[in-house]
Amino acid sequence: MKTIVLALTGASGMPYSIRLMEKILASGNRLYLVYSAVAQVVIKQEMGISLPSRASEAEACFIDRFKPEPGQLRVFGREEWFAPVTSGSNPPDAMVVCPCTMGSLAAFAAGMSQNIIERAVDVMLKERKKLIIVPRETPFSAIHLENMLRLVQAGAVMLAANPGFYQHPQSVDDLVDYIVARILDHLDIPQDISARWGEGEA
């Protein structure tokens, strides 16, 4: 069983996050969830989900939604500095920031650790663990691109939320699954929600 951290920041793209949570938990892996205050606003607007500020209440909400095994899903508060994700002595196997705002990206690139999300990213980079960042912004400024380059040079995977169309998607769910499938591929989690190039219809 892998331990994967999923961080939600305040960018648009919450359908990616919820679908990714579903697939990680369905795969039998352990999921640690952290989220920003702005993510609560965006997930309400985009998906109608009222995400509580208290981590324990959010955990209960997602346990009710996804029905994971006991202990498979943990939610940590933004200032919960004793959470396992804040120390290199107990790093997770991988982390995904999805969606990622440009403000969060800048903080990561600068090595900031002012909240649990930033600290968890810092841990992943210093411990050479897999870090996948899913930026959701357009157009990118030179500053955005420089920050992305700095993070890629530090070892992160920059997986922008740019869905492909060669599979002839029929719905928004198909577009979401395209990106989620790519994230799962990089997490080495088997997936059958989106065919690879050259497989199935093209």
- Spell out where 110-190 has E strands: 130-135, 157-158
* CATH number for position 28: 3.40.50.1950
Total tally of structural domains belonging to the chain: 1
- Looking at the predicted structure, is the pLDDT value of residue 198 above 80? no
Q: What is the pLDDT of residue 197?
A: 78
Asked if residue 192 is part of any domain, the answer here is no
Asked if residue 191 is part of any domain, the answer here is no
- Span 182-193, pLDDT tens digits: 999 999 999 989
Asked if residue 76 is part of any domain, the answer here is yes
pTM equals 0.95
Predicted confidence band of residue 202 (pLDDT cuts 50, 70, 90): very low
Asked if residue 116 is part of any domain, the answer here is yes
Asked if residue 202 is part of any domain, the answer here is no
Name the residue with higher pLDDT: 60 or 195. Answer: 60
Average pLDDT over the chain, rounded to an integer: 95
The parent domain of residue 8 ranges over 3-186
Asked if residue 193 is part of any domain, the answer here is no
Q: Are 75 and 40 in contact (CB under 8 A)?
A: no
Asked if residue 41 is part of any domain, the answer here is yes
